[in-house]
Amino acid sequence: MTAFNHLAIVKFKEEVIVEDLLKGLEKLASEMDIVKSFVWGQDIESDDMLRQGFTHAFLMTFSSKEDFIAFATHPNHVEYSSTFSTAIEKAVILDFPVIAVKVPT
């Protein structure tokens, strides 16, 4: 079974209280056992030209593509996604099988 990643790179709308959204996302990921790992961060180093306006990155890892599909279609995710997507000015979403070259120890 190949691990599967869900990566979202976003720029939030100006009026959004990002901390509130992050609490909801952390709660969602923590409550669903099919999410094997969840990490996120806010860009603080990249040059504006390279960043292209994006400010945050979110990465969830699942044991398989099937687990990701189960997550994506789960009622809790569907409900949260409507809130999250209305707060986004722009986003890039990538869903892909993991090809591990060097894993953390």
| Positive or negative torsion for Cα 44, 14, 59, 54 | negative
How much is the pTM?
Answer: 0.89
In a domain, 17, yes or no: yes
**Short-list 104, 91, 88, CA closest to 39:** 104
Q: Whole domain around residue 56: which residue ranges? A: 4-96
**Short-list 16, 6, 28, 5, CA closest to 88:** 16
Query: For 33-65, what is each residue's pLDDT tens digit?
Result: 999 999 999 998 878 777 888 999 999 999 999
In a domain, 103, yes or no: no
Q: Could you write out the DSSP letters of every residue in 56-97?
A: EEEEEEESSHHHHHHHHHSHHHHHHHHHHHHTEEEEEEEEEE
When divided into structural domains, the chain yields a total of: 1
In a domain, 33, yes or no: yes
CATH, residue 46 = 3.30.70.100
Is residue 85 a contact partner of residue 49, using CB atoms and an 8 Å limit? no
